[in-house]
């Protein structure tokens, strides 16, 4: 159960990281604007996927009880 909550928090961090990459155009090195936006969108989408997966696992764990 704790893994599901940690996965939810990790998803939020990925979303924040994606926004930061898009705003500052920096991810271990200075990025071109196009690459920064593409990487930012990819990180945000992955964060949303992690949150979706965590929420479905939390809901399913409640059904099993």
Instruction: Flag whether pLDDT at 62 surpasses 80.
Output: no
φ, ψ for residue 26, nearest 5 deg:
-140, 130
Write the pLDDT tens digit of every residue in 1-43: 788 889 999 999 999 999 999 999 888 888 899 999 999 999 9
CA distance 52 to 57: 9
Binning pLDDT at 50, 70 and 90, where does residue 58 land?
Answer: confident
* pLDDT of res. 64: 64
* pLDDT of res. 55: 92
Give yes or no for a contact between 48 and 18, defined as CB atoms under 8 angstroms apart: no
Let me know how long the chain is. Answer: 65
CB atoms within 10 A of CB 14: 20
């Amino acid at each position: 159960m704790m893994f599901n909550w940690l996965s939810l928090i990790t998803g939020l961090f990925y979303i924040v990281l994606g926004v930061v990459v898009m705003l500052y155009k920096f991810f271990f090195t200075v990025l071109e604007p196009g690459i920064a936006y593409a990487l930012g969108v990819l990180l945000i989408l992955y964060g949303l996927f992690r949150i979706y997966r965590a929420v479905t696992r939390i809901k399913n764990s409640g059904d099993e009880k």
